[in-house]
């Protein structure tokens, strides 16, 4: 999850995020930080941030100065975080082909088999279907294969104080400062080294790619060993994903999405208005069925829906009708393509498993 924590406030966790030593998921070798000539001590904002850490009793001045003297400015992170240049139009089928692939299905089956009891427990406790959890972890990191090997402290410090020049630079820097603060809180609570955490160039950690703020708010010790470790414990990853989705609007026992065909021209004002409502399920069944035909009799009529527009480049768009559960997945990553790939990968793995 590139930026799974949409909120920027830092809250105390229900359980401290501690570092484990057990190894249950193969990890990539840590990357050696390549230092630039930039020093964090040269940034005035760093001095203000250190004062904030002192005021919140997270780090004293000496400890904060030691942290920033050890943190490495990573120019590569700045390059990777930049938005892609405008180019080809969005293409769902091209995106889908990158994630709905044989290796992900095979590894998903193995992950499900190895963690079946834990997945069943998470479904019973949180109401999240097992295939959704399996699909999401598969999309995020290929079941732990691609968790990232940047030192999270370096990545977050770089983005918190030297974010690239973009129209939203100020907001993004504030976000990453909050995430850096969350990382330091995690390290303090678990009495661990903040530089020990490895993750993506954006600071996401472990099998489910939680940002530090999301670890504090939503991660759970699901293997009950007294520690939270999303990098090495599949059980903790499973429970944390389930808890996250449950806290972001997942409704037990309702479907996710249905293929649909427009009943009006795509440029009709009613279609445009439905698409423009964005990441919400706000239509009643009667309202959505007036603009989109759904080829199933199994669709519930008492719940809310939204219109999903999957653009296909120069080919016709693909339309689906999504429930609140589809939109809950978009709270993990605010993209229709992402949510649909999670749903489809999980569904295909489930069908394959049941054969």
pLDDT digits (tens, 9 = 90+) for 126-145: 999 999 999 999 999 999 99
Examine the pLDDT at 261 and tell me if it is beyond 80.
yes
What confidence score (pLDDT) does residue 339 get? 98
From the number of C-beta atoms within 10 Å of its C-beta (0-12, 13-18, 19+), residue 137 rates as buried
Exposure on the CB side of residue 95, measured as CA atoms within 13 A: 19
Residue 79 belongs to some domain of the structure? no
Average pLDDT for 152-166: 98
Distance CA 280, CA 129 (A): 21
pLDDT digits (tens, 9 = 90+) for 191-232: 999 999 999 999 999 999 999 999 999 999 999 999 999 999
Q: Hey, how many other C-beta atoms are within 10 angstroms of the C-beta on 120?
A: 11
Residue 293 belongs to some domain of the structure? yes
Local confidence band at 20 (pLDDT 50, 70, 90 cut-offs): very low
Local confidence band at 87 (pLDDT 50, 70, 90 cut-offs): confident
Distance CA 139, CA 127 (A): 20
Contact present, 216 and 11 (Cβ < 8 Å): yes
Residue 261 belongs to some domain of the structure? yes
Name the range with the highest mean pLDDT among 21-30, 143-152, 269-278, 290-299.
143-152
What confidence score (pLDDT) does residue 14 get? 33
Residue 314 belongs to some domain of the structure? yes
Selected catalytic residue, list 140, 179, 181, 324: 140
pTM: 0.89
What confidence score (pLDDT) does residue 1 get? 53
Distance CA 270, CA 276 (A): 10
Examine the pLDDT at 88 and tell me if it is beyond 90.
no
Average pLDDT for 295-310: 93
Residue 31 belongs to some domain of the structure? no
What confidence score (pLDDT) does residue 3 get? 42
Residue 302 belongs to some domain of the structure? yes
Residue 152 belongs to some domain of the structure? no
Q: Which domain holds residue 307?
A: 257-322
Distance CA 272, CA 306 (A): 12
Residue 334 belongs to some domain of the structure? no
Examine the pLDDT at 160 and tell me if it is beyond 70.
yes
Total domain count for the chain? 1
Average pLDDT for 185-189: 95
> Is 140 a residue of the active site?
yes
What confidence score (pLDDT) does residue 32 get? 52
């Amino acid at each position: 999850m590139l930026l799974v924590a949409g909120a920027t406030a830092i809250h105390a966790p229900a359980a401290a995020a501690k570092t484990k030593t057990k190894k249950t998921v193969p990890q990539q070798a840590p990357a050696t930080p390549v230092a630039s000539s930039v020093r964090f001590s040269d940034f005035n904002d760093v001095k203000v941030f250190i004062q904030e850490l002192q005021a919140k009793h997270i780090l004293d001045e000496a400890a904060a100065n030691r942290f920033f003297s050890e943190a490495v400015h990573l120019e590569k992170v700045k390059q990777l975080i930049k938005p892609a240049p405008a180019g080809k139009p969005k293409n769902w089928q091209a995106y889908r082909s990158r994630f709905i692939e044989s290796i992900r299905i095979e590894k998903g089956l193995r992950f499900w088999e190895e963690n079946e009891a834990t997945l069943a427990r998470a479904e019973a406790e949180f109401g999240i279907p097992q295939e959704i959890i399996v699909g999401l972890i598969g999309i995020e990191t290929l079941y732990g294969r691609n968790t990232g090997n940047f030192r999270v402290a370096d990545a977050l410090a770089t983005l918190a104080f030297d974010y690239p020049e973009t129209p939203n630079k100020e907001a993004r820097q504030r976000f990453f400062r909050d995430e850096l603060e969350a990382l330091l809180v995690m390290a303090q609570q678990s009495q661990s080294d903040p530089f020990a955490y490895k993750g993506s160039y954006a600071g996401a950690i472990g099998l489910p790619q939680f940002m530090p703020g999301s670890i504090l708010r939503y991660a759970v010790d699901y293997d009950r060993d007294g520690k939270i470790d999303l990098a090495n414990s599949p059980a903790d990853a499973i429970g944390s994903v389930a808890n996250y989705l449950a806290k972001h609007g997942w409704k037990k026992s309702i479907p996710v999405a249905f293929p649909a065909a427009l009943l009006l021209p795509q440029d009709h004002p009613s279609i445009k208005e439905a698409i423009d409502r964005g990441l919400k399920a706000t239509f009643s069944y009667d309202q959505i069925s007036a603009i989109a035909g759904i080829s199933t009799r199994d669709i519930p009529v008492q719940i809310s829906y939204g219109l999903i527009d999957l653009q296909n480049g120069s080919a016709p768009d693909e339309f689906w009708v999504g429930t609140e559960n589809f939109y809950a997945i978009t709270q993990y990553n605010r993209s229709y393509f992402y949510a649909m790939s999670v749903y489809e990968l999980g569904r295909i793995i489930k069908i394959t498993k049941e054969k």
